[in-house]
Amino acid sequence: MSCLKINVRIAAAAYAVPSDGEDVEAILDRERDRVEATLAPLSPQARLKAAEGLGLGRVRVCAGKQPYDLVLEAASTAMAEAGITGQDIDLIIDYSTFPGENSQYLSFAHKLSADLGAETSLNLGFKSGGCGALHLAIKTALGWMSTDESIRTALLVTGDTAPQGSRSLLPVTVQGDAASAVILTREGTNGPLLLGVEVMTLGHLHDAIALVKTNGHLEIKVDAACMENEVMPVYYLNLFWLVQKVLAASSLSLNDIDHFIYSNISQRDREGFRRMVGLPEGRLPATPMAEYGHTFASDLVINYVHMRREDQIRPGQLLLLASAGIGFTWGVTLARA
Amino acid sequence: MEIKAEVRQFIAENVLLGLHQTKIEDATPLVTGGLIDSIGLVGLVAFLEKRFAVEFVPREIDVHSVDTLDQIEELIRKKLASRKADAAGSGQQI
């Protein structure tokens, strides 16, 4: 039973990554000056730990491909899985945080609408939430579906690529490029039923990770001191609150959850989440993070798709998706397979 | 109600990061001093909510509001006073 007032399912999900890759070690070496400047405000001990326990070996990088190419690929794959055409899509939401410095589109949603033949779709985009943006997109789609009878199928996409020279987000993570697509259907019969979504933003932490222009080029700036001293102390607390809130609304508890789907920021962050939800060691499922790196909001879709490919998700099981990202934004989505 | 004593005991028994011999003074920085990590804070806030029957909202808790026993006590006392005022305003008894 969903505590939402409408019946909406995750009908399909897909992702696309570029074929080119780069070793994380090589990236950190190339961006050494930037990394050192970012970490300078931290204590010597914290600086040493910044690159430890990442669990990220390589990342995929857009070389010949543009993020939009990946978005189109992911959307097409998801549509094929859902068995729909462009004409079936009523709403397209682009929630990319880093769509590429040279992106010429108003939003990927508008370009997709044209390329997929989604002639009557409502197209919108927002840039908010980073890794937590999937929940914002789901909640936005639910809002539209709740207030407009004609919106029955929504396509949610994100495509992100690190600005040149900004792949390292130490002391947090290292960014890889990827795109993903999720299709939500109202009154559908296939896919996990959405039970609840909770999101929160603390705006006073907005520049813990910020986009700035340096010499005419975008750069991601991490305020390491703010991350360590302001964000991290409440990072899991805020996530935990949202988890409790979304579970309470469905009269469920942590023990009821069959699968926790969490982002690929770093292995140490996943370990923190594991401790937060009280799972025994080794109980968070393996993800392709070592190969793809952290891909912002696509992480959750990548991990969900991998679990499905490995046939880990059974009908009736409860899924809890959680992530946090720039903004600073925390989000949790609950669904029953 | 000896708030600080109860919180001190909870922290010593449940939260301290392998530093059981550490003496927690009223002004000892718990979070900024590295005695409590972000997971420990989850447990501490859950304890405070349950033990003192108060409820926090996300924006109320940050590193500056629960960094010392003094601050924690002040926060709890404010919460309790606010609850009492709400109850008096609505004619209820607590």
Model pLDDT for residues A285-314, shown as the tens digit of each residue: 899 999 999 999 999 999 999 999 999 999
Q: What percent of chain A has pLDDT over 70?
A: 99
Q: Is B18 left (phi over 0), alpha (psi -120 to 50) or beta?
A: left
Indicate the pLDDT class of residue A13, thresholds 50, 70 and 90. Answer: very high
Chain B residues at the A interface, defined by Cβ less than 8 Å, are 31-32, 38-39, 41-42, 45, 58-59, 61-63
How close is the nearest chain A Cα to the Cα of B32, in Å? 7
Report yes or no: A98 at the B interface, CB cutoff 8 Å: no
Chain B interface, mutation test: which of A236, A237, A277, most B Cβ atoms within 10 Å?
Answer: A237
Please name the member of A229, A230, A238 whose beta carbon is closest to the beta carbon of B58: A238
Per-residue pLDDT reduced to its tens digit, B29-53? 999 888 899 999 999 999 999 999 9
User: Do A235 and B38 lie within an 8 Å CB cutoff?
Assistant: yes
Q: Report d(CA B23, CA B28) in Å as an integer.
A: 9
| Residue B17: pLDDT over 80 | no
Mean pLDDT confidence for A100-126: 92
Cβ neighbours, 10 Å, residue A243? 23
What domains are defined for chain A? 1-337 (3.40.47.10)
Q: Tell me the three state secondary structure of residue A193.
A: strand
Report the interhelical angle of B3-10 vs B69-89 (nearest 10°). Answer: 130
On whether the pTM is more than 0.95, the answer is: no
Per-residue pLDDT reduced to its tens digit, A23-41? 999 999 999 999 999 999 9
Q: What is the DSSP letter of B35?
A: S
Per-residue pLDDT reduced to its tens digit, B65-74? 999 999 999 9
CATH topology of domain B3-89: 1.10.1200
Residue in A83, A202, A217, A104 with CA at minimum distance from that of residue A153: A83
User: Do B38 and A236 lie within an 8 Å CB cutoff?
Assistant: yes
Q: Which positions in chain A touch B31 (Cβ < 8 Å)?
A: 233
Residue in A281, A287, A280, A282 with CA at minimum distance from that of residue A323: A287
Complex-level ipTM: 0.85
Q: Which positions in chain A touch B38 (Cβ < 8 Å)?
A: 232-237, 272
Please name the member of B58, B59, B63 whose beta carbon is closest to the beta carbon of A230: B63
pLDDT score recorded for residue B93: 55
pLDDT score recorded for residue A214: 82
Burial class (CB in 10 A: 0-12, 13-18, 19+), B48: buried
Indicate the pLDDT class of residue B1, thresholds 50, 70 and 90. Answer: low
Find the residue in B nearest to A241 (Cα): B58
Question: How do the domains of chain B map onto residue ranges?
Answer: 3-89
Mean pLDDT confidence for A148-158: 97
Mean pLDDT confidence for A243-272: 96
User: Do A276 and B39 lie within an 8 Å CB cutoff?
Assistant: yes
